[in-house]
Amino acid sequence: MRPMIRGDTPLPDVPVHPGLRRFLTVMRGYRALVADSPLTPRLCNPAPVRRTGFDLDLRIDVITREAEDVVSLYLVAPDGAALPRWRPGAHVDVVLPSGRQRQYSLCGDPADPRGYRIAVRLIPDGDGGSQEIHQTLRAGQPLRVRGPRNAFRLVEATSYRFVAGGIGITPILPMVGAAAANGVPWRLDYLGRTRGSMPFLAELASLREGTVAIRPDDEFGPPDIARLLADVRPSNAVYVCGPPPMLDVARALFDPTGDLRELHTERFSPPPVVGGTPFEAELRRTGVTVEVGAEESVLAAVRREVPSVAYSCRQGFCGSCKTTVLAGRVEHRDSVLLDQERADSMLICVSRGHDRLVLDL
């Protein structure tokens, strides 16, 4: 795995001691040296550059229907102030009026300081976040966001290959825009059920200096990811975002010594539990004990008794579900907790226990 490099998000302008500034300059150079080392294969899905970002109280300026069951929200500061800058691949945590927290990729223009754009597909049988956005939010409403953070950073490359499936176009759209603006060769294969279900087709059609292949299933049949990536070369930085089956195929093709040697992926759903065994989790404050199945997360088991438990990414990198462990041995599977935090805490979305855990829930 490529080393996880943290700290790329710009921090607020605050006075910095000259000695600390020199230290940070040295560390930035070290990070760049490690990140660009040719000695490490680059199957890349790093943790975000930091666990928490700016808390911003924004306002929904415009809601736009982008495709069947897809709307975009353009978010601005109520006073019109410029928002923190971001880079292609970044996302924000959105705190909905119900208290639900969900993550959405920024799919607007990184050079636009006035607002952030996110796009959300309605999932009728989902966990309620998309339904709340589609059915209850209106232009003019306040909305709190946290971020931006970036777990899917666009690296410098001599050429790019992008594959986006459905709403997976959201983080890819600013990337192809950046590649086009910088004159770097690129190709995008955009997959979806039908053209009517695929947002931002008009924006993609306006781009130059690259190739866009629109491949809806009802016209081309189910996508063959291996065939689409068959002509990838070692000089290509490959970015894939979409449903889990697409990512699984792409990851299976990864070869650190072959043509597909630099692969970046991002998923919008929790990963499957691998190598899990059943155990018990006692919720001390709730007064119940739940059984955690071999193929389910602690979070899923806890939510049966405590539906209001906080969570967001469900992939072990945002820290929203951090929970105090009162007793028991934890198998940590996250990529964000510090060693001292792991002594008495866990991220219940991905980490597991042995035999029995006692949680402060």
Q: Given this model, what pLDDT does residue 304 score?
A: 87
The mean predicted confidence, pLDDT, of the chain is 84
Cis check for the bond before 88: say yes or no (omega within 30 of 0): no
pLDDT at 332 over 80: yes
Q: Report the alpha-carbon distance of residue 107 to residue 86 in Å, rounded.
A: 11
Instruction: Tell me the average pLDDT across 193-203.
Output: 97
Tens digit of each residue's pLDDT (9 = 90 or more) over 145-193: 988 988 889 999 999 999 999 999 999 999 999 999 999 999 999 999 9
Mean pLDDT of 70-88: 97
Q: What is the pLDDT of residues 91-137, one digit of tens each?
A: 998 989 988 888 899 999 999 999 999 999 999 887 788 999 999 99
| C-alpha span between 246 and 217 (Å, rounded) | 14
* pLDDT value of position 192: 97
Helix (H) or strand (E) segment spanning residue 301: helix 298-303
Distance CA 52, CA 75 (A): 19
Domains of the chain: 153-266 (3.40.50.80), 279-359 (3.10.20.30)
Closest CA to 235 of 308, 305, 334, 155: 155
How confident is the model at residue 149, as a pLDDT? 84
Place of tokens 């006073």: 79
Q: Of the given ranges (39-48, 151-160, 167-176, 231-240), which has the lowest mean pLDDT? A: 39-48
Q: What burial class does residue 36 get, using C-beta atoms within 10 Å of its C-beta: 0-12 exposed, 13-18 middle, 19+ buried?
A: exposed
Q: What pLDDT is stored for residue 18 in this prediction?
A: 43
Q: Given pLDDT bands bounded at 50, 70 and 90, which one contains residue 269?
A: low
Is residue 197 left, alpha or beta, with left meaning phi > 0 and alpha meaning psi from -120 to 50? alpha
Identify the DSSP state of 127: S
| 10 has a pLDDT exceeding 60 | no
Confidence of residue 324 (pLDDT cuts 50, 70, 90): very high
